[in-house]
């Protein structure tokens, strides 16, 4: 478990922060009440702190000295302060902190928790900076890395397009206008030919002097625009975060439409929509395709004995095993209450029965924690390795085999 350092001399805020963090995140909170205690804690810690929440004014560090002390140890810092003067604000941002929050704001604790969650997400979020200026390239890279983004650097548009081909999961491109070989407008237009605004955000940047530069970037397909010489660090982070979170919200809505809310597996609608395309593709490319129907044995008894919450735990546990065991190219779906269906293309048909029976055994051997008890569940499986004439025909045949497996005593696989 990763740890977050809290440096706060107020018992009220210290307890509040520690309790809130440990209740709502996966972080362990380590609370210190002075700069000397914090420095000693960092030096003696077995692992590196993920981040630190720092009170600006401490008994032994009244002018924000704690910021340099913690950042100097390589720990990203969020400043928690009741002082809101412009002088203090400028000083805080000059220290290359992650962010700051005001103590007199009733939502400040929630804001800090949200920021820590954001930082954790950012570790797996890729951002590319396209800039030929060594100075601004470093400025932007440093700012993004303070927020834990994975940063890629391209010196021109051609390099940027190559990096995108190699890393299609890049979520944001921040691009200058004036660059050799290809300007920012052309790069933006070329990116938009392959990536819509629902998949990748683009922020254009340029120097002062051209009042229509922002509008031209937006019309070329960018989401946002920043002037190099005048942007504030706080503004930069707000714009980057807002665009990344918009992409995440779009993804959440998309997944809600195709995934089962409880298990995270694909839902029935997605299974048949994509399954038909997968079936047609397999026929066109002369690839094998198989279908496996799965049912949790005596699931009603689990609900009746332990309650519906326990039933939900069992469904999640079985779903996780199914998902982890199958390939990313396979469609694993929950198509009914305790029924699942798997569609797999180009799997060795001779080995398929063994692969799925190993899956059955893994679920049988697994123990599900239900409160203070551990229970075991089993599954019955119907495996159809004959593609037939349609997806519906494949599913119906697999369902017939599943019925036979249940009729013959459950906890087994029938295939054909």
Show Cβ contacts of residue 355 under 8 Å, excluding neighbours closer than 6 positions: 347
Q: Quote the pLDDT of residue 106.
A: 66
Q: How far apart are the first and last CA of the chain?
A: 47
Q: What is the pLDDT of residue 229?
A: 78
8 Å CB contact between 398 and 410 = no
- Cβ contact 243:172 at 8 Å: yes
Q: Please report the pLDDT score of residue 23 as a whole number.
A: 92
pLDDT, position 81: 87
How high is the mean pLDDT in each 10-residue block of the chain (416 residues)?
94 92 93 96 91 95 94 94 84 92 82 94 97 94 96 96 96 94 94 96 84 88 90 92 96 91 94 93 90 96 91 95 93 95 90 92 93 91 90 94 95 93
- Angle formed at CA 149 by CA 148 and CA 151, multiple of 5 degrees: 130
CB atoms within 10 A of CB 125: 21
pTM over the 0.85 mark: no
Domains of the chain: 3-118 (3.40.50.2300), 123-256 (3.40.50.2300), 268-415 (3.30.70.270)
Gap between the Cα atoms of 28 and 15, Å rounded: 13
Q: 10 Å Cβ neighbour count for 287?
A: 13
- What pLDDT sits at residue 208? 67
Determine contact, residues 57/29, Cβ cutoff 8 Å. Answer: no
């Amino acid at each position: 478990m990763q740890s977050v350092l809290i440096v706060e001399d107020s018992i009220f805020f210290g307890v509040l922060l520690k309790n809130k963090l440990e209740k709502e995140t996966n972080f362990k909170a380590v609370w210190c009440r002075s700069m000397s205690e914090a420095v000693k804690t960092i030096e003696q810690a077995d692992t590196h702190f993920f981040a630190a929440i720092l009170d600006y004014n401490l008994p032994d560090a009244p002018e924000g000295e704690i910021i340099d002390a913690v950042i100097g140890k390589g720990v990203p810092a969020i400043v928690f302060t009741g002082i809101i003067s412009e002088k203090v604000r400028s000083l805080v941002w000059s220290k290359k902190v992650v962010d700051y929050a005001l103590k007199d704001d009733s939502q400040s604790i929630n804001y800090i928790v949200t920021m820590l969650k954001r930082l954790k997400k950012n570790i797996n979020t890729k951002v590319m900076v396209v800039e030929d200026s060594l100075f601004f390239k470093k400025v932007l890279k440093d700012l993004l890395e303070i927020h834990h983004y994975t940063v890629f650097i391209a010196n021109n548009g051609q390099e940027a397009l190559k990096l995108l081909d190699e890393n299609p999961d890049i979520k944001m491109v921040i691009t200058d206008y004036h660059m050799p070989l290809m300007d920012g407008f052309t790069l933006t237009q070329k990116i938009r030919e392959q990536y819509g605004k629902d998949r990748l955000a683009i922020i254009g940047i340029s120097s002062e002097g051209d009042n229509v530069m922002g509008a031209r970037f937006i019309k070329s397909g960018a989401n946002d625009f920043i002037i190099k010489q005048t942007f504030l660090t706080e503004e930069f982070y707000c714009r980057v975060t807002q665009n990344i979170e918009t992409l995440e919200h779009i993804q959440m809505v998309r997944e809600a439409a195709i995934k089962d809310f409880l298990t995270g597996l694909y839902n029935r609608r997605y299974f048949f929509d994509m399954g038909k395309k997968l079936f047609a593709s397999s026929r066109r490319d002369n690839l094998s395709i198989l279908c496996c129907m799965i049912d949790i044995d005596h699931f009603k008894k689990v609900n009746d004995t332990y309650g519906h919450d326990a039933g939900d735990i069992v469904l999640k546990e079985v779903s996780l095993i199914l998902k982890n065991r199958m390939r990313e190219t396979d469609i694993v779906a929950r198509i009914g209450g305790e029924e699942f269906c798997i569609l797999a293309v180009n799997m060795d048909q001779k080995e398929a029965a063994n692969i799925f029976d190993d899956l059955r055994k893994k679920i049988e051997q697994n123990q599900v924690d239900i409160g203070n008890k551990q229970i075991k569940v089993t599954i019955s499986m119907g495996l159809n390795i004959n593609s037939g004439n349609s997806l519906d025909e494949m599913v119906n045949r697999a369902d017939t085999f599943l019925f036979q497996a249940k009729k013959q005593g459950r906890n087994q696989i029938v295939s054909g």
